[in-house]
Copies of this chain bind each other. A is one copy, B any other.
Amino acid sequence: MPDKIQPRTLKGFRDYLPAAMIPREWLVDTARRVYRSYGFSPIDTPALEYLEILTGKGSDETDKQLYRFADHGGRDVGLRFDLTVPLARFAAQHIQELGTPFKRYHIANVWRGENTQRGRYREFMQCDFDTIGTESISADIEMVLVVHDLFSAIGIEQFTIHGNNRRVLNGLLEKLGLVEQSTSVLRALDKLAKAGAEVVAQELATTAGASDSQVRDIMKLASLSGDNNQILAQLEPLLSGSETGERGLTELSEISNAIAAVGVPSERFRIDVGIARGLDYYTGTVLETFLDDLPGIGSVCSGGRYDNLAEVYTKEHLPGVGASLGLDRLLSALEELGTLEKTSTPAPVFLPFFDADRRNEYLRLAAQLRAAGIGVEFFPEPKKLGKQLQFADRRGFRVALIMGADEFAAGQCQVKDLSSGGSTTASTSDDAAAVIAEILQILKA
């Protein structure tokens, strides 16, 4: 036998053990269920793409982080670093067959050779949904509704979707004669939530070269307050006369009205003109989502509308709107909020192997419970009961079914609630139905 190879993962990569993977699967399932309920369809694309596809529209930063190599056929290839570039390539290639509007979700891993010192991972999962091929505001409204339904389904009660429209910002810059400096103005404005008004005002003056009165006008945005209608009313005079700005305002107001009409509580969607979301990509609606109890972690779901998804690959004009759920960030948040159940097993019921001669009877009972929709793990070896219950405790089962010689003789079963420690006796004579009823009652409690 040669020397052992040290079992280890690459820096920036990680294993998901059951205790981490069970919540991730649940979160992905929840996102999928919500996306699907709106008619978003799943797609998948290859992890490996031609290098020219991936570098076609990426930034210098993503280019540098690309995992790239030559494949067996000598082709230059790379691992995808996001799901947007593959979506653009996919849409350019298949949109004739798919037809528009095309609504897709895509939940898959991406890879970036990032600096791990910033706590980043080099492999992580993205969870995107987009509507391609329509400019209708209906799709923007739906994006907000999807985000709302998503966080409600996750069980988060306190969250706020901050919405804005790039046209509102552009209109303001137009009116102020700051279009040329828009990049630095928006970059400064982006810091509003984190750095505060003073820092932003100073940066506007120095980096963007805005005059005192321009700074004052921009900073008015930071002092808008009240409900959405009040904010819209305050924006109106600031934008009147700018076609772009007025259109942005109309769009924001249509979204705000629509989601109120649908019954979304008004505190869940807040018009926030401080949200700019990057610089080049978005052209209309933009949104970020914050957890009220953990604002410091930043946005956990962000997105917006863009004009032309696939221009690098096709002449076809493909506008779109969509958002991306920050899975990893949200998982740590849920852990911090203590809302994740701690378990390393997806089956709620543990069935110890107690009476060595009765394996087939245990197996039959387990099969009956599964047929009734109750997951059961049967311990494979007739070890001491104490050891088996230790195992069950470590795994986080909800219920154990104790059946020994006495119980078999009496046609009974002890149903042990592993969280309360309480125990009830159920009859097994009637085809396990009584046990099932007993377990369901405990699981519901």
User: CB within 8 Å of B: which residues of A?
Assistant: 1, 4-11, 13-18, 21-22, 24-25, 32, 36-50, 52-53, 56, 65, 67-73, 75, 77, 79, 89-90, 92-94, 97-99, 101, 103-104, 109, 111, 113, 122-123, 131, 134, 136, 138-139, 141-142, 145, 149, 257-258, 261-263, 310-315, 344-347, 350, 353, 359-361, 363-364, 367, 370, 375-381, 391, 394
Contact present for A99 and B131 (CB under 8 Å): no
- B-side contacts of A40, CB under 8 Å: 346
Contact present for A364 and B7 (CB under 8 Å): no
Contact present for A39 and B99 (CB under 8 Å): no
What's the minimum C-beta distance from A106 to chain B, rounded to whole angstroms?
9
Interface of A is mostly: mixed
- Sample 11 A-B pairs with CB under 8 A, ordered by A number: A7-B313, A13-B46, A15-B93, A21-B43, A37-B375, A39-B350, A39-B375, A99-B394, A134-B380, A136-B380, A258-B359
Contact present for B37 and A376 (CB under 8 Å): yes
Contact present for B101 and A380 (CB under 8 Å): yes
Nearest B residue to A351, CB-CB: B39
- B-side contacts of A104, CB under 8 Å: 18
In angstroms, Cα B8 to Cα A244, docked, is 37
Contact present for B17 and A94 (CB under 8 Å): yes
When A38-B375, A134-B380, A394-B99 are in contact, do A123 and B258 touch as well, CB less than 8 Å?
Answer: no
When A1-B311, A10-B49, A380-B101 are in contact, do A364 and B261 touch as well, CB less than 8 Å?
Answer: yes
If A13-B46, A16-B44, A103-B377 are given as contacts, then 14 extra A-B residue pairs at C-beta distance below 8 Å, sorted by A number, are A5-B53, A5-B312, A7-B53, A9-B45, A10-B48, A17-B97, A18-B104, A38-B378, A39-B377, A47-B109, A48-B122, A138-B359, A261-B361, A262-B367
